[in-house]
Amino acid sequence: MKRMAVCALVVIVMLLAVAAWDWRQASSLADRARRINVGDSRQQVERVLGKPNNVFSPPAAGETNALILILSVRRETWAYGSTFDLRHSIQPEFPFFWPFKFRLFTPDSDDVTIEFGSSGKVVKVTVPTSEQ
SS3 sequence, the chain? CHHHHHHHHHHHHHHHHHHHHHHHHHHHHHHHHCCCCCCCEHHHHHHHHCCCCEEECCCCHHHCCHHHHHHCCCCEEEEECCCECCCCCECCCCCCECCECCCCCCCCCCCEEEEECCCCEEEEEECCCCCC
Please write the tens of the pLDDT for every residue from 76-96. Answer: 899 987 766 656 566 666 766
Residue 119 domain flag: yes
**Domain count along the chain:** 1
pLDDT of 30 > 50? The answer is yes
Give a yes or no: residue 132 inside a domain.
no
- pLDDT, greater one: 65 or 48: 48
- What is the pTM (predicted TM-score) of this model? 0.62
Whether 115 is in a domain gets the answer yes
Q: Is residue 89 part of a domain?
A: yes
Structural domain of 97: 2-126
Q: Does 131 map to a domain?
A: no
> Would residue 120 count as lying in a domain?
yes
